Structure 1
Amino acid sequence: MTTPTPASPARRPVTLITGAQGEFGHALVHALSEHSDTPIVAIDKDPIDPALARRCAESHALDLTDGAALDALLDRLHVGTAYHLAALLSRSAEERPDLAHAVNVEATVHLLRRFAAASHERAEPVRMLFPSSIAVYGLPTRAAKDDAQPLREEEHTTPITIYGCHKLACEHIGRYYATRLGASWKEPPAARVDFRAIRFPGVISAETEPRGGTSDFAPQALHRTARGEAYESFVDEHARLPFMTMPDAVRALLELGAAPDDALTRRVYNVGAFSLSAAEVASRASAHFNGVRITYNPDPARMAIVNSWPADVNTDAARADWGYTPEHTLSRAFEDYLVPGLRTHH
């Protein structure tokens, strides 16, 4: 067994963020750079925006499916905390399932292996924060969805999308690495990965318009109408999902990351703030922007996915264990964040 050694000054602990160029990555880099002195190492398959890179100690254009390149980077880093955001989202994953498996599952397991080895060698857990998704759920029919109470973490986890399957698989693998890896070894590991996951609902940002996700009907409608453009929704007016704002999503991930280990009763938590239908999005948009033109042309494949996801989720565990409380309830989300932010950016 390797003897753990103290980190040298050249091996100062860093925070690693994968998928840093995405909308969540942008928001997370901003939050961490403003509230933490720990150096940030940001990676993405695309070059990092210069303004974002200036907030990081290092930034790298790196494909996570290139294991050799990833290993070369990790070999010289002392990762204390990792935010593994990189993923192919639901629609993109359906279109390219093999690539999605490589990115969403194989790269995640590669990171878990490396962090497990580092945790053992240093006798100190590497903390890995993993954004999961309501895509892990799979309600059998729209009627079942309409009748369901807000879903708890263990209910209806039979996803119908490959993205949901990937996220659920990584939740289980992460839990294994955190609690069971090495249990049958002659000498158990000195420390295991501290894996923590959040199942996010749809996330709405006032700054960026998303692409590639199935919950995008809400943020896309808001951004298009704020620009004075027409929007054709790919779901019908009755389609309903849970949502939260981007600031609340980032805050939740940071709060879970900061929670004492002995306060946590599980490795995976639901979060959410409010439930919205496509018609309610249109109504809210009409109340704040002029000339709103939203029509509905439901795509059967995407409607099937939305119908399998819950209208709302139960967040009791997150509230009890680490004090999760969203700042932006439905009214506050629009009045304090979305409408002012959309007007500023458009």
Structure 2
Amino acid sequence: MTPKILIIGSSGQIGTELVLKLRKIYGNENVIASDIRKGNYEVMESGPFELLDVTNKEDILDVVKKHNVKQIYLMAAMLSAIAEISPRRAWALNMNSLFNILDLAKDKIIDKIFWPSSMAVFGPDTPKVNTPQDTIIKPATVYGISKFAGENWCSYYREKYGVDVRSIRYPGIISYKTIPGGGTTDYAVEIFYEA
């Protein structure tokens, strides 16, 4: 039986394309898209969609139970530019959402988590060429700080509770399908839309 997958943050740059790709692989009904707002028409119409506030643990649990979700891709986050304007709000969103999902796995309600980190964990003192994974990590942004903290929380939950959580540090993301949303690559994405 194909496990049900919940994508939280399905209206973002990665989420939009991730939902469509996973639906092609696992079937439309097995990939549930969710976001705090309605998004891409194709995402909304090609399979299940739930309006969801990722900071509300009870609402997440309701969606997980309703669809019998076993895997969660947590793509929701407040990105760099916007996070600098509202650091506490960014920290609350970026960290509380991660804790909500980690706790579902700790409590054996879901089996697997994917949570992306970012190149934002690196700071100005990090080597710029062939940057190693284990190096100086001194983030210079609210977003980077939250991603670095998140990496450590994921490691902690893995070691302490055996949570199956996977991550990758993404570089700057440029999407032709989704308009910019407050990240460091907005200027590059805007070029495509203005061309």
**TM, length-normalised to structure 2:** 0.89
CA RMSD of aligned residues (A): 2.2
1:174 to 137, 154, 168: 154
Alignment partner of 1:207 is 2:177: yes
Is the 8 Å Cα contact of residues 16 and 178 (structure 2) preserved in structure 1? no
Point out which structure has higher relative CO (alpha carbons under 8 A, 6+ apart).
Answer: 2
Note the residue ranges of structure 1 that are not aligned, 5 or more in a row: 1-8, 120-124, 182-191, 227-346
Query: Are 1:48 and 1:59, in contact at CA under 8 Å, matched by a contact in 2?
Result: no
What is the identity, as a one-letter code, of the residue corresponding to 1:217?
Y
Query: Of 143, 168, 184, which residue of structure 2 is paired with 1:198?
Result: 168
Name the SS of the counterpart of 2:115 in structure 1.
strand
Paired AA for residue 157 in structure 1: I
Asked if 1:154 corresponds to 2:134, the answer is yes
CA distance in 2, matches of 1:202, 1:50: 25
> Match for 2:38 among 31, 36, 47?
47
In the TM superposition, residue 149 of structure 1 has moved relative to its aligned partner by 2.6
What whole-Å deviation, never above 9, does each CA across 1:102-125 have from its counterpart, x for those lacking one? 210111111100122126xxxxx7
Q: Displacement, 1:77?
A: 4.1
- How far the C-alpha of 1:156 sits from its partner, in A, is 2.0
SS of 1:118's equivalent?
coil
Asked if structure 2 preserves the Cα contact closer than 8 Å seen for 1:135 and 1:159, the reply is yes
Q: 1:153 to 1:65 in 2, by over 3 A?
A: same
2:52 corresponds to: 62
Q: What is the rounded CA distance, in whole Å, between the counterparts of 1:137 and 1:200 in structure 2? A: 11
Distance 1:14 1:47 in 2: 21
Aligned equivalent of 1:109: 99
Deviation digits for residues 98-146 of structure 1 (CA, Å, limit 9, x no counterpart): 2211210111111100122126xxxxx7121111110000123xxx76x
TM-superposition CA deviations, 1:256-314 (whole Å, max 9, x none): xxxxxxxxxxxxxxxxxxxxxxxxxxxxxxxxxxxxxxxxxxxxxxxxxxxxxxxxxxx
The equivalent of 2:24 in structure 1 is 34
Q: Gaps spanning 5+ residues in structure 2: where?
A: none
Q: Structure 1: how far apart are the matches of 2:86 and 2:23?
A: 34
1:88 aligns with 2:45: no
Query: Which 4+ residue blocks in structure 1 deviate beyond 6 angstroms?
Result: none
Number of equivalences: 194
* Whole-angstrom distance in 2 between the partners of 1:72 and 1:209: 30
**Matched residue of 1:17: which SS?**
strand
Name the amino acid aligned to 1:41. Answer: I
Q: Distance in 1 between matches of 2:59 and 2:160?
A: 28
Q: Are the equivalent residues in 1 in contact too, given 2:55–2:100 (CA < 8 A)?
A: no
Return the alpha-carbon distance in structure 2 between the equivalents of residues 48 and 204 of structure 1: 17
CA distance in 2, matches of 1:75, 1:39: 14
The structural deviation recorded for 1:48 is 4.1
Shift of 1:25: 1.1
TM-score, normalisation: structure 1: 0.52
Equivalent residues of 1:29, 1:55 under 8 A apart:
no
% same residue: 30
What is the aligned counterpart of 1:137 among 105, 119, 122? 122
Describe the SS at the equivalent of 2:107: helix
Write the mapping of 1:1-346 to structure 2, written as runs, cut at 5 A: 13-37=3-27, 39-56=30-47, 58-118=48-108, 126-140=111-125, 148-181=128-161, 192-224=162-194, 226=195
Answer yes or no: is the 8 Å Cα contact 1:18–1:84 preserved in 2.
yes
